[in-house]
Amino acid sequence: MTETLVPSTAPAARRPLTSRRSVRIVGGLLLPLLILLVWQLSSTLGLVTASQLPPPASVWVAAVDLFERGQLTLYVAISTQRVLIGFAIGAALGLAAGALVGLSRAADIFFAPTLGAIRAVPSLAWVPLLIIWLKIGEESKITLIAIGAFFPVYTTVAQALRHVDRQLVEAGRAFGLRGVRLFGAVQLPAVIPSVISGLRLALAQAWLFLVAAELIAASMGLGFLLSDSGNNGRVDRILLAIILLALLGKLTDAILGVFEKWAIKKWA
Amino acid sequence: MSASPATRTTARPAAAVRTGEPTGTDAAYAVQFSGLGRTFAPSPGSRRRTRAATTTSVEVARPVLRDVSISVQPGEVLAILGTSGCGKSTLLRIAGGLDSPSAGSVRIDGSPVTDFDTRCAVGFQEPRLLPWRTVADNVALGLPRGTAREAGRARVAELLELVGLSAFADHRPASISGGMAQRASLARALARNPGVLLLDEPFGALDALTRLKMQDLLLDVHAAAPTTVLLVTHDVDEALQLADRIILLGQEAAPSGGSRPPGATIVQEITVPGTRPRDRGSAELAELRGRLLAGLGIDRHGDPRGVATGTSIPHFPY
Ligand SMILES: Nc1ncnc2c1ncn2[C@@H]1O[C@H](COP(=O)(O)OP(=O)(O)O)[C@@H](O)[C@H]1O
Ligand SMILES: [Mg+2]
């Protein structure tokens, strides 16, 4: 009680505990650690059989084993590469299509219904077609991932552009801006925050579509590890793949999150 | 440029205001409204509502302006007075090519106004600053295209100094007050150095003292570069202080026995006597103020003081 009355306490001490960075990191790690503990306990207490749920240690052993064979690095690398390439292509196309549909009434009328229908197709429906058209090479997987990344970006960009403050656009026009210059000076900056949240959604979709692609038609990658281990009953490897997907998804999202913070500071 | 004899070639006293001006129009253009009318179509929402209801009155297109005819001379300052919602902004937007008339036409320097006419600069009723740009960068948006970098920066600094925002050049619009934003918006319009300056209640959000300062500032700027100014205001004193001529927009009184045609038009036109800057306390201006206030539907609470409305004081065009 007396402490709060003393004005000379450090400003950091007066900030609520929950806004401190270290607290947030430690707090966020609590639940994963708890899950790990329960997992370990249920194994050691014999609540589940090792074939159903192997203990954390054997997942670690499986990871080391795969790493020593050189497969772990390869799988992680190939999956990440597919996601990044597919995401880049899909996001770029989504940005272009979103800009077109969001800025032009005519393009909106012409394209939006069709794109909306294509968007409604479940991801797995594309797989057989892509395999026949593009074989089981990289192209088919990257195409599927690009489809997955395209739609969140397209939708958010088109939506955001339609809702750019008309008064600002008019002011830009009144000061002689047209076309690309108007877009660069007014519309694009106005939608940057939405574009970035669209990109984050697209990245999550890219990982989703990666697994869809690799589960069905792949000889490498984390999705392949999942389906292959499923066939062999290797629950430890399945758990490993799931954990790796979680970590990679979170990591790439965090990188975009940093970019988002920077961009919002600069543009909003 | 204009062939009008009224183009002023007088000396520019406050030359410091436009040092080293590289681009933009040095001309002041005549603006001619002839028989201008503007009717807004009913919105789709109101049409749907009326179909369900029994009345059809809302469905009718609404005339806002009608038969506005006035010829503004190059370099003249015309104040447009009127009650809120009478169509002042609409008239200004049409003059700048931001909106199109339903009837009649507007000509600038003898040729019809084009969409977003580059001969005009607009100071909007709202500041309309780009939130992601600094105040200085927002003002720079107004610079005529092709301004050299260095010259542009100097001009922006000069204008910020004029409107008293030098200390806030690097601030974002969100971190300055409404009055400051409006001054930044004014600076942006001035940066254009236009042939016709369209100002829509440019001092509306300012406190009383800053408003007086900014009025004097506008007079200095105008003296230095006598462009044509169309100034929308709802402040009678401001109009009297700044304008060569004042028009009052409003509904015309119904003729006896007839019905009043809808839409606002020019109901009073007053040539303000005296050269600027005017004595803010002049008795003759007080008389005009009374007439204008009466036109705006305000009771002046007093009798006319017998000052002749025809005046011997020289007035525009001098
Ligand atoms: N784009 C528009 N569509 C329909 N009605 C409009 C539009 N712009 C203005 N109006 C109407 O025209 C009238 C005059 O508006 P405005 O020119 O802004 O008035 P003022 O600036 O004198 O206050 C108002 O009643 C307003 O509702
Ligand atoms: Mg208005």
* B284 token code pair: 């003759």
Cβ of A175 within 8 Å of Cβ of B96? The answer is no
Q: Residue B107: pLDDT band by 50, 70, 90 thresholds?
A: very high
B49 compared with B192, residue with greater pLDDT: B192
pLDDT at residue A217, as a whole number: 78
pLDDT tops 60 at residue B252: yes
CA distances from B97 to B64, B90, B299 (A): 17, 11, 36
Report d(CA B143, CA B148) in Å as an integer: 10
How far CA B85 is from CA of A111, B22, B89, B264, B278, in Å, comes to 40, 39, 8, 10, 29
Q: Which pLDDT score, from 0 to 100, does residue A124 have?
A: 81
Q: Are residues A150 and A214 in the same domain?
A: yes
pLDDT at A126: 87
The one-letter amino acid at A53: L
Whether A205 maps to a domain, the answer reads yes
Residue B10: CB within 6 Å of ligand 1? no
B300 found inside a domain: no
Q: How many domains does chain A have?
A: 2
Cβ within 8 Å of residue B253, ≥6 positions away: B260, B267
Where is pLDDT greater, at A266 or B113? B113
Same domain, A77 and A204: yes
User: What is the distance between the alpha carbons of residues B18 and B221, in angstroms, rounded to a whole number?
Assistant: 8
Helix (H) or strand (E) holding B112: strand B111-112
Straight-line distance from the first to the last Cα atom of chain B, in angstroms, rounded to the nearest whole number: 20
The tally of domains found in chain B comes to 1
C-beta B127 within 6 A of ligand 1: no
Residue minimizing CA distance to atom 18 of ligand 1: B89
Give me the domain span that covers residue A6: 2-44
What residues does B232 pair with on adjacent strands?
B80, B200
Mean pLDDT of the B124-146 span: 94
For the Cβ of B88 lying below 6 angstroms from any atom of ligand 1, the answer is yes
What are the tokens at B250? 């409003």
User: Within a 13 Å sphere around the CA of B291, how many CA atoms are in the beta-carbon half?
Assistant: 21
> CB neighbours of B227 closer than 8 A, spacing ≥ 6?
B28, B75, B193, B194, B195, B196, B197
Position B2 scores a pLDDT of 40
Q: Write out chain B residues lying below 8 Å of A179, CB-based.
A: none
Residue B56 scores a pLDDT above 60:
no
How many Å separate Cα A164 from the centre of its chain? 26
Asked if A167 lies within 8 A of B124 by C-beta distance, the reply is: yes
Place of tokens 């000061």: A175
One domain, residues A7 and A64: no
Ligand 1 atom closest to Cα of B200? Answer: 21
What's at B137, amino acid-wise?
D
pLDDT above 50 for B15: no
Residues of B in contact with A192 (CB under 8 A): 132
Return the structure tokens found at B267: 């109901």
CATH code for position B90: 3.40.50.300
Roughly what angle, to the nearest 10 degrees, separates helices A126-134 and A188-216?
80
Q: What is the pLDDT of residue A145?
A: 94
CA distances (Å), origin A63, targets A23, A72, A75, A217, B7: 30, 7, 12, 23, 86
B147: in domain: no
Structure tokens of A16?
């609520």
pTM, rounded to two decimals: 0.77
In this structure, the number of other CB atoms found within 10 A of the CB of residue A106 comes to 9
Average pLDDT of chain B is: 83
B163 pLDDT above the threshold of 60: yes
Asked whether residue A156 falls in the same domain as residue A233, the answer is: yes
High-pLDDT (> 90) share of chain B, %:
58
What are the tens digits of pLDDT across the range B17-53?
443 333 455 789 999 999 999 999 887 655 444 444 4
For chain A, helix (H) and strand (E) counts, in that order, are: 13, 0
pLDDT tops 90 at residue B286: no
Report phi then psi at B265, rounded to 5: -145, -175
In a domain, B260, yes or no: yes
Strands B245-250 and B228-232 come out as unpaired
Band of the pLDDT at B66, cuts 50, 70, 90? very high
Domain assignment present for A51: no
CATH label of the domain that carries residue A196: 1.10.3720.10
Assigned domain for B97 exists: yes
What pLDDT score does A13 carry? Answer: 55
pLDDT in the model for residue B19:
39
Name the amino acid, one letter, at A4: T
Averaged over successive runs of 10 residues, the pLDDT of chain A (268 residues) comes to 44 68 88 92 86 89 94 95 96 94 93 93 86 85 94 94 94 93 92 91 94 86 93 92 95 93 79
Select the residue of A174, A186, A266 nearest B122 (Cβ to Cβ).
A174
Residues A33 and A64 in one domain: no
Task: Tell me the residues of chain A between 222 and 251 that have a Cβ less than 8 Å away from chain B.
Answer: none
* Domain range for B208: 8-12+29-38+61-119+194-295
DSSP symbol at B254: P
The whole-number pLDDT of residue A11 equals: 52
This model of the complex carries an ipTM of 0.81
pLDDT recorded at residue B24: 52
- B143 C-alpha vs ligand 1 centroid, how far in Å? 29
